[in-house]
Structures are given as C-alpha cells and as structure tokens.
C-alpha cells in the first residue's frame, strides 16, 4: 500500500534534531577516530576555531585544551561571548558575530553552525563565558537546554570555556588518536605565530610561521633552502625535495583546506608562470612542480567554502571590493619570487637543474608510459586484476570518503574479499606474487614492471594523486612472514614514488582476526592473544578455537564482518622523525648485520606469539 502524501507528511525539525539526523551535512563523515577527518576531530576543531578567531582579532594569547578519554575541555582568553547572547550563540541557527564583518573581518568560526553542531552531537555540553568580572554558564545535552545559570561573579580572566563529550549514540565506540589532534594544533600554531596552545600540558608555539610548518613536516631537507615570502594577507613557503609528486599544505583564515581550492590552484599556476618568465623558457608545468613541497596561507574576507567542514575554498575574490583570489596570488608570487630568484642565484641554479632533470626523465619514460597504459588496459580487461567498485565520487565530484580499494595477494584471498565486499564503494586489486622491490629504482623501471604499472593505472595516480580514484588504499595480506614482506614492498613503492598518499592518510593496513572462538550460542573473533583469552573466559569450557593462518581461510560469509562497518584499519603514518630515505635503506637496501639482527629478533617474537 502506497502511503498518502498529505499535510501530515510535512514535518519541521528543530535545529538540534536536524543536526543529529543529518550529521554528515555539518561535520562530514562520522567514524570512530581511526581517520584524521573523522567527526570527533571536527568537533574539536569547530570549538577551537572560535578561539583562534579571537586571537586573530588581537585578543587572548593562549588556548588550553585538556582531553581525558571522551571528555574535551577548551579554554581561551579572548573577550568572552556577550553574556546575554550565550544561549542563542550555541543553540540558535544563523546567530553569531561573524555576520558583522566590522567585528570579525577575516574569520572562520565565530559561533556559526559549527559550535551548534558540537552542542547537538554531545551528550554533555557546557559553555562558560567570562566577561568583565561576571560569568554566564549554560548546560546542554544533545542540543537540549538543561540548565541556564544565573549571572555570577567571577575573578577569572575574560574568555570562553567549552566542555563536551561526543555522543556515542552518534559516533559509536570512538577513541581519540592524539597524533591527529597534535597535528591540527601544530598547524594552528604555525598559522598564528605567538599563540601558545597547550594540550594536556604539552605546548605548541611557532615563531616563523609556515617556515616552521614545512620544517616540521618534511622528512628530509629540500635541495635548496626554503623560500619564505610574506605579505599582507598572504604567506608562502616552499622548496623542492627528492620525492616524486607534489605536496601542498594550504590554509584560509587559519583553516586547513585539505582539499585545496581556488587559492591552491592559483598558487600552482603562479609558480609555473613566474619560473617560465624568470628563465625565459616554456617549461612543462609538471617539470616545474614535480617534487615541490609548499605551504600557502591567505586571508579572505567572508570566505566561501564548498562544504560545511571548510576543506575546500570556493571564493573567487579576496573580499567584496578586493581583487580575485587568482590575481592576488599570481601578482604576489610573480613579484616576490622573481625578486628572490634574482637575489639568490645559487638557489635559482639548483632549481633550474632540478627542472631540467625532471624534463629529461619525463621524456625518457613518455614512450614507456604510453605502452604501459595500453598494456594496463588490456591486461586489466582480460585478467580482471581489478574488480572495480561502482561509485568513486559524490554529487559534488569529490572523492567519496568510503571509496576503498583492497590490494591483496592470491586467488583465494582476493576471491573472499570480492564476494563479501560492498560493490558500490569497495574495489579489489589482485597481486600476482611478490611485487618488485622499488628501493633505489627510477620511475622508468617501475613503468616497465607490469604489477606496479597496473596498480598505478587502477589508482589513477600516474600523473600524481590529484585524480586518485579511492580515498582508502588498504593493503590486505596475510599476517605471516610472506604477507609482511609484501606489505613492506608495497609501502616501499608508495614511499618512493607517492609519499603524499601516506602523508595525506590514504594508505592503511587491514586488520583481520587471528582466532575464531565459538560455542553453539556465540562466535567471537579475536585480533590478539589477549582477546582470545578474554573470549575463552566469556564462553566457558570447551569452545571451538580456530587459528586463521591466512586470509584465504576466511570464508566470504565471515569476511563481510571484517570489511563492513566494523572494519579495523591501521593507518600507515609518517612522523617528522621518520627519515624516509634512512628507513628505506635499512629495510629494503643491502643486507647489513644490523638488519639481520633486527629480522632475527622479530622472527623470534613472531614465533613466540603464534
């Protein structure tokens, strides 16, 4: 029976109901904290953004953050929210100071939708505003007002304190990865020199802005000293490294625009334009930009972003009466970079040599690349190495956050995943045996290798990761010695030629259970020896115990549990202290006594845990 469409079918949701019913519209994906863009981190960011805006306007030089398991507390020392408007600011849509451009000219947060999303998606949300010797305290739960305290006297400094606990009903059994939070706070410090941010007592502060940011994030030195240029409402820093591809960190009004936007497009264009004019040669754009590592930060009046989570700038102009973003950046780079290269001839010579080397290599592999692409299409079609998914992008032509490709080895393992996957968003790529050890190899050699040629084609990364077809690249191999070796070979490939895939958190390791413990009533899958012991205690005497020796031993009916909503992924991450060249030399270079000792020790550990 078809339900009647009447006046009773029309319903108006309260603000908090709408946010809780459609949280993705406000904070992107939910997640359990395993990924850096999961919703629980967006909540922290939204609460901090308002404090950052206060600092940008010249108020409050410190932000204190304390996180204890699921409880988050943030205190700034700005002017404090006007006490009579505190309730409206955190619970009434379209309310906030950012609508008055005289008060906050170039801001990101300012109590707009973001802080209301934090309120609605938290089981407990308390905000205190200290202002001129008075304090106003308001308490909420899931967006509902619980207690509106009377005005009180206060001896504390002006500012705002926000405390909240993300709702497990929305986010599930989530956990914070502090490295993700620290990375976010470091970026805030780099973009706001002089601001002191503390996380559970650990302080983050920067004196040199984007120069510090690149020094923090680069795992090896550039081939020439970092170029650092500052102007009104713009700051850039860049060098060229020895890696393949391009690596960018872009920001607007202190917001990390991880998906770039008009400002990043303009910067990439400006560098090419300026270099061509300086050397008076029509270099290919890819030869100029390959191996670049750059950061750009601009300030825009009333910025327009392409999503609520503010990860991509859509603004065309700097402000209502200002130039276009493109012209502003191109003019700044053209003037300042040209002057820098004229004054620093040694850097100019190194850059020229780098471009010429890139040009030479590109021409050498162009014919190989064409043959490789033709072969890739043919082999993929006939051998079905790639079992693709149906959907890669959303309606805004952005990469879907849950689009995933599993890289696996062996027919049985790939068969199990293929049969149990979600065909809409999960693809499978089958390796044939162990891939090539890429360490020390040129890109030319890799293009001549069938396995990696096909993998590059499947991921669509031959020209860089801008057109990557999957948000999550998941290595799914057995947890034995051979499987570990394949993992290492694949990670070496990505580190050598596509390190930005790792730095932007696209590469993961699939965790599958080691044991299945079951009786007639219940089945428990265990990912560690500790979990196995706990399962035995829970199920009592004589349960059946199965030790999975490989992915191929797990049936498709069981595999669906491990790659569905409860999927366990370990991100492959790089830290500042991870020197890529040294790691690759140790693990994948020539055999040394040190590496032999390392392998022997870890083999012993493997034997002890099996």
The pair of structure tokens assigned to 139 is: 């308490």
Predicted local distance difference test score (pLDDT) of residue 161 = 95
Average pLDDT of the segment spanning 578-603: 57
- Contact present, 429 and 465 (Cβ < 8 Å): no
Pairing of strands 472-476, 507-511: parallel
What local confidence, expressed as pLDDT, does residue 310 receive? 60
Q: Which pair of structure tokens corresponds to residue 188?
A: 């805030």
Confidence label for 595 from pLDDT (cuts 50, 70 and 90):
low
Helix, strand, coil % (nearest 5) of the chain?
40, 20, 35
pLDDT exceeds 80 at position 59: yes
pLDDT grade for 124, boundaries at 50, 70 and 90: very high
Task: State pLDDT tens for residues 528-578.
Answer: 889 999 999 999 888 999 998 788 788 888 888 888 877 888 888 765 545
pLDDT value of residue 452: 86
* Structure tokens that stand for 478 in this block: 């057995």
pLDDT at 256: 83
Closest by CA to 427, choosing from 449, 453, 396, 402, is 402
CB-count exposure of residue 193 (10 Å: 0-12, 13-18, 19+): middle
Backbone φ and ψ of 383, nearest 5°: -95, -10
Average pLDDT of the segment spanning 374-383: 50
* Secondary structure, 3-state, 222-252: CCCCCEEEEECCEEEEEEECCCCCCEEEEEE
pLDDT value at residue 12? 52
Residue 183 has pLDDT above 60, yes or no: yes
Looking at residue 115, its pLDDT comes to: 87
Token pair, residue 566, equals 């409860």
The average pLDDT across 426-443 equals 83
CB distance 483 to 546 below 8 Å:
no
Q: Which of 361-365, 393-397, 457-461, 600-604 has the lowest mean pLDDT?
A: 600-604
Give the least confident one: 51-65, 174-188, 218-232, 354-368: 354-368
CA distance 135 to 153: 6
Q: Is the pLDDT of residue 429 over 60?
A: yes
**What single-letter DSSP state applies at residue 393?**
B
Q: How do residues 72-107 score in pLDDT, each as one tens digit?
A: 999 999 999 889 888 888 887 644 444 344 433 455
Give all strands (DSSP E) within 97-179, no chain letters.
122-131, 134-141, 144-148, 152-153, 159-166
341 pLDDT band, cuts 50/70/90, is: very high
Among 506, 445, 498, 500, smallest CA distance to 475 is for 506
Domains of the chain: 16-204 (3.30.565.10), 210-360 (3.30.230.10), 384-512+548-609 (3.40.50.670)
Tokens standing for residue 239 = 């060098």
Q: Which residues of 98-137 are buried (b: 16+ CB within 10 A; e: fewer)?
A: beeeeebbbbbbbbbbbbbbbbbbbebbbbbbbbeeebbb
Per-residue pLDDT tens for 457-489?
889 887 778 788 999 999 998 877 788 888 888
Distance CA 229, CA 248 (A): 16
Residue 239 clears pLDDT 90, i.e. is over it: yes
Residue 369 has pLDDT above 80, yes or no: no
Q: What mean pLDDT is predicted for residues 327-335?
A: 93
Residues 119-139, mean pLDDT to the nearest whole number: 93
Instruction: Look at residue 273 and tell me whether its pLDDT is greater than 80.
Output: yes
Which of 17-26, 94-103, 364-373, 514-523 has the largest mean confidence?
A: 514-523
Phi-psi region of 181 (alpha: psi -120 to 50; beta: other; left: phi over 0): alpha
Measured distance CA(29)–CA(22) in Å, rounded? 10
pLDDT-based confidence at residue 293 (cuts at 50, 70, 90): very high
SS (H, E, C) 387-401: ECCCCCECCCCCECC
Instruction: Give the C-alpha distances (Å, rounded to integers) separating 366 from 218, 292, 377.
Output: 29, 21, 17
Q: What is the pLDDT of residue 110?
A: 38
pLDDT at 496: 81
Cβ neighbours for 464, distance < 8 A, ≥ 6 positions apart: 245, 246
Do strands 144-148 and 134-141 pair parallel, antiparallel, or not at all (unpaired)? antiparallel
Confidence of residue 337 (pLDDT cuts 50, 70, 90): very high
Local confidence band at 10 (pLDDT 50, 70, 90 cut-offs):
very low
Identify whether the C-beta of residue 229 lies closer than 8 Å to the C-beta of residue 336.
yes
**Residue whose C-alpha is closest to residue 314's, from 270, 255, 245:** 255
State the pLDDT at residue 374.
59
Q: Say what the pLDDT of residue 160 is.
A: 94
Q: Name beta bridge partners: 150.
A: none
Q: What is the pLDDT of residue 97?
A: 46
CB 517, CB 535: distance < 8 Å:
yes
Least confident range from 238-242, 291-295, 407-411, 589-593: namely 589-593
Q: What is the overall mean pLDDT for the chain?
A: 82
In what helix (H) or strand (E) does residue 562 lie, and over which residues does it extend? helix 556-562
Confidence of residue 411 (pLDDT cuts 50, 70, 90): confident
Q: By mean pLDDT, which of 127-131, 184-188, 481-485, 510-514 is the weakest?
A: 481-485
Share of the chain above pLDDT 90, in %: 35
Cα-only R_g, the chain: 27
Alpha helix locations (H) across 57-133? 86-91, 113-120
Determine the Cα–Cα distance for residues 254 and 187; give it in Å rounded to an integer: 8
Measured distance CA(296)–CA(256) in Å, rounded: 10
Q: Taking 50 as the threshold, does the pLDDT of residue 203 lie above it?
A: yes
Of 21-30, 57-66, 372-381, 548-557, highest mean pLDDT? 57-66
Provide the 10 A C-beta neighbour count for residue 339: 11
Give the span between the Cα atoms of 306 and 401, in whole angstroms: 16
Higher pLDDT, 347 or 394: 347
Of 531 and 450, which is predicted with more confidence? 531
Q: Is the pLDDT of residue 206 over 50?
A: yes
Structure-token match 């909420």, residue found: 140
Helix, strand or coil for residue 198?
Answer: strand
């Amino acid at each position: 029976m078809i339900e009647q469409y009447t006046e009773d079918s029309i319903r108006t949701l309260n603000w908090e109901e709408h946010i809780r019913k459609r949280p993705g519209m406000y904070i992107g994906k939910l997640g359990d904290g395993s990924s850096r863009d999961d919703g629980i981190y967006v909540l922290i960011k939204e609460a901090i953004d308002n404090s950052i805006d206060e600092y940008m306007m010249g108020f409050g030089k410190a932000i204190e953050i304390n996180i204890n398991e699921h409880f988050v507390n943030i205190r700034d020392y700005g002017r404090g929210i006007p006490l009579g408007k505190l309730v409206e600011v955190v619970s009434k849509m379209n309310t906030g100071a950012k609508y008055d451009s005289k008060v906050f000219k170039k801001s990101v947060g300012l109590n707009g939708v973001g802080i209301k999303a934090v309120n609605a998606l938290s089981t407990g949300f308390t905000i205190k505003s200290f202002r001129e010797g008075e304090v106003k305290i308001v308490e909420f739960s899931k967006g509902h007002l619980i207690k509106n305290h009377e005005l009180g006297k206060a001896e504390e400094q002006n500012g705002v304190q926000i405390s909240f606990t993300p709702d497990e009903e929305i986010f599930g059994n989530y956990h914070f990865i502090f490295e993700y939070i620290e990375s976010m706070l470091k970026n805030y410090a780099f973009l706001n020199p002089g601001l002191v941010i503390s996380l559970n007592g650990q302080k983050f502060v920067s004196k040199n802005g984007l120069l510090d940011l690149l020094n923090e994030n680069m795992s090896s030195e550039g081939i020439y000293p970092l170029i650092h240029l500052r102007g009104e409402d713009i700051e850039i820093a860049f060098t060229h490294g020895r890696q393949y591809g391009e690596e960018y960190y872009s920001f607007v009004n202190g917001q990390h625009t991880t998906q770039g936007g008009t400002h990043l497009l303009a910067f990439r264009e400006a560098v090419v334009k300026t270099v061509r004019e300086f050397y008076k040669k029509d270099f290919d754009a890819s030869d100029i930009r390959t191996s670049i590592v750059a950061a750009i930060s601009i300030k825009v009046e009333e910025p327009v972003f392409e999503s609520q989570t503010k990860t991509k700038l859509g603004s065309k102009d700097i402000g209502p009466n200002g130039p276009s973003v493109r012209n502003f950046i191109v003019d700044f780079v053209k003037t300042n970079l040209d002057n820098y290269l004229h004054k620093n001839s040694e850097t100019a010579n190194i850059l020229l040599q780098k471009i010429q080397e890139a040009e030479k290599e590109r021409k050498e592999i162009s014919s190989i690349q064409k043959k490789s692409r033709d072969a890739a299409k043919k082999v993929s079609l006939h051998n079905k190495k790639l079992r693709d998914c149906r959907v890669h992008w959303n309606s805004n032509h952005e990469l879907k956050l849950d689009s995933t490709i599993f890289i696996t080895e062996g027919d049985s393992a790939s068969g199990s995943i293929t049969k149990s996957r979600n065909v809409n968003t999960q693809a499978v790529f089958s390796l044939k045996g162990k891939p090539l050890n890429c360490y020390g190899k040129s890109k030319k050699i890799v293009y001549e290798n069938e396995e990696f040629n096909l993998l590059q084609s499947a991921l669509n990364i031959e020209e860089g990761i801008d057109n990557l077809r999957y948000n999550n690249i998941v290595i799914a191999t057995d947890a034995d010695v051979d499987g570990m070796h394949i993992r290492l070979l694949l990670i070496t490939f990505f580190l050598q030629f596509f390190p930005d895939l790792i730095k932007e958190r696209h590469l993961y390791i699939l965790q599958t259970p080691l044991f299945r413990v079951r009786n007639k009533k219940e089945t428990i899958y265990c990912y560690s020896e500790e979990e196995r012991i706990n399962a035995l205690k829970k199920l009592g005497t004589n349960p059946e115990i199965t030790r999975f020796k490989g992915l191929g031993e797990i049936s498709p009916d069981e595999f669906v549990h491990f790659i569905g909503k409860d999927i366990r992924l370990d991100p492959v991450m790089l830290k500042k202290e991870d020197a890529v060249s040294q790691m690759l030399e140790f693990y994948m270079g020539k055999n040394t006594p040190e590496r032999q000792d390392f392998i022997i020790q870890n083999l012993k550990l493997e034997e002890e845990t099996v």
